[in-house]
Amino acid sequence: MEKQVEKKGMPLLGELFPAMKVQTTQGMLNLPEHYKGKWFVLFSHPADFTPVCTTEFVAFQQRYEQFRALNCELIGLSVDQVFAHLKWEEWIKDNMNIQIEFPIIADTGSVAEKLGIIHPGKGTNTVRAVFVVDPTGALRTMLYYPQELGRNMDEILRIVEALQISDANKVAMPANWPNNEMIEDSVIIPPATDTKLVSARLEAAKNGEYKCYDWWLCYKKL
């Protein structure tokens, strides 16, 4: 019987998030099973007690209720021991008056290796990666940032909300949604794929079902 080789490196969009048991500041968790039925955002940071990472954790916590309103949880990660995470949380609480409520994975390096997020040339530091996972455990979005650039949490919120709307309505989202320069907060109808659908699309546009720049670029308000 051929031995199955464990896949390593960056997971691909659409794949199931790799199954793993992780030590966190809130105990042992099994991912992605722990968040089954919910969206979750796993984000890695280079190290505890670093300036940019501290601003990011404060920003994530300040938007935590907005993520929860989207049925989405947060979970952080870095190659630090759990006591370092706890001490850093304590520092943020004492100095910023912000209580970090979401768990942080204390990684030995095995989780970061499985996800392909060890920063090249930076020892064991993890990159600023973001993994957006849907309620089925499928990986839907990945973002990677250099150490010098802090993340925009409002963009991550936008991604979660946009994916949920896209899934529910079978539509695509334009650039800068919901403030697109061409169609504002409208959503895009998937392009027609045959001549029959082209005719139906144009007829529907005439009837006011939605608007079109052309048969391949139609949009509507939700």
Give catalytic residue positions: 53
Q: Which two tokens stand for residue 213?
A: 């720049």
Q: Which two tokens stand for residue 81?
A: 């021991």
Distance CA 207, CA 193 (A): 21
Distance CA 74, CA 40 (A): 6
Distance CA 53, CA 126 (A): 11
User: Which residues lie closer than 8 Å to 32 by C-beta, 6 or more apart?
Assistant: 16, 17, 19, 40, 133, 137
Q: Please name every residue paired with 95 in a beta bridge, in sequence order, or none if there are none.
A: none
Q: Are 70 and 161 in contact (CB under 8 A)?
A: yes
Q: Which two tokens stand for residue 9?
A: 């490196």
What is the dihedral angle through the alpha carbons of 102, 148, 133, 83, rounded to the nearest 10 degrees?
Answer: -30
3-state secondary structure 141-189: EEEEECCCCCCCHHHHHHHHHHHHHHHHHCCECCCCCCCECCCECCEEE
